[in-house]
């Protein structure tokens, strides 16, 4: 089983991780072993809960005009196809590396809180 620190590192290293989550993850890693660790862990879980996207949310974004602008038509179409495949297999969450690690972290949040 992966260590929590490894999951957090994977999450914040992902190209798809937004800056607020990167900051919360790094703050948690920096706080390990200090009296700030529990507070940083709480913040990390809060930000992760707000950041992990459902498959329906990302599917809607990939199909939107904004999604096409961000990713380009072809990439947005490929991401839409991939999201539909994930959803068809009962996937509940975004499949990007940051969300995948975030879901894993949330499943194990009791270990750090």
For the stretch 33-77, pLDDT in tens is 999 999 999 999 999 999 999 999 999 999 999 999 999 999 999
State the pTM of this model: 0.90
Give domain limits for the chain. Answer: 1-52+95-112, 54-92
Is residue 12 a contact partner of residue 26, using CB atoms and an 8 Å limit? yes
Burial 40-70 (b: 16+ CB within 10 A, else e): bbebbbebbeebbbebeebbebbbeeebbee
């Amino acid at each position: 089983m992966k260590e929590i620190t490894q999951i957090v590192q994977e999450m914040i290293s992902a190209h798809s991780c937004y800056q607020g989550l990167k900051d919360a993850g790094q703050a948690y890693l920096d706080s390990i072993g200090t009296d700030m660790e529990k507070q940083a862990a709480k913040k990390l879980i809060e930000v992760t809960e707000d950041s992990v996207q459902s498959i329906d949310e990302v599917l809607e974004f990939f199909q939107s005009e904004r999604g096409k602008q961000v990713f380009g038509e072809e990439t947005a179409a490929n991401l839409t196809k991939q999201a539909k495949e994930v959803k068809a297999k009962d996937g509940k969450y975004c499949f990007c590396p940051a969300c995948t690690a975030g879901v894993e972290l949330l499943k194990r949040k009791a270990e750090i809180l």
